[in-house]
Amino acid sequence: MAREVLSIFVENQSNVLTRVASLFGRRGFNIDSLTVSTTNDPKISRITVVFDGNDTSLSQIMTQTRKLEPVKDLFLLNHNNSLFRELLLLKVSCDKTNRSGIIEIVNIYRGKIISLTKTNMIIELTGAPEKIDGLLEMLSCYKIEEICRTGITGISRESVETDD
Asked whether the beta carbons of 85 and 154 are under 8 A apart, the reply is yes
Fold for 84-153, please state it. Answer: Alpha-Beta Plaits (3.30.70)
Element spanning 45, H or E: strand 44-53
Rounded Cα distance, 31 and 69, in Å: 21
Give residue 7's pLDDT band: very low, low, confident or very high (50, 70, 90). Answer: very high
pTM: 0.84
In the prediction, which pLDDT does 160 show? 66
In the prediction, which pLDDT does 57 show? 86
* CATH-assigned architecture of domain 2-76: 2-Layer Sandwich (3.30)
- What is the per-residue pLDDT across 23-74, written as a single tens digit (0 to 9) for each? 999 988 999 999 999 999 999 999 999 999 887 888 999 999 999 999 999 9
Rounded Cα distance, 2 and 60, in Å: 15
- What is the per-residue pLDDT across 110-153, written as a single tens digit (0 to 9) for each? 999 999 999 999 999 999 999 999 999 999 999 999 999 999 99
Please determine whether the domains at 2-76 and 84-153 fall in the same fold group of CATH.
Answer: yes
The domains of the chain are located at: 2-76, 84-153
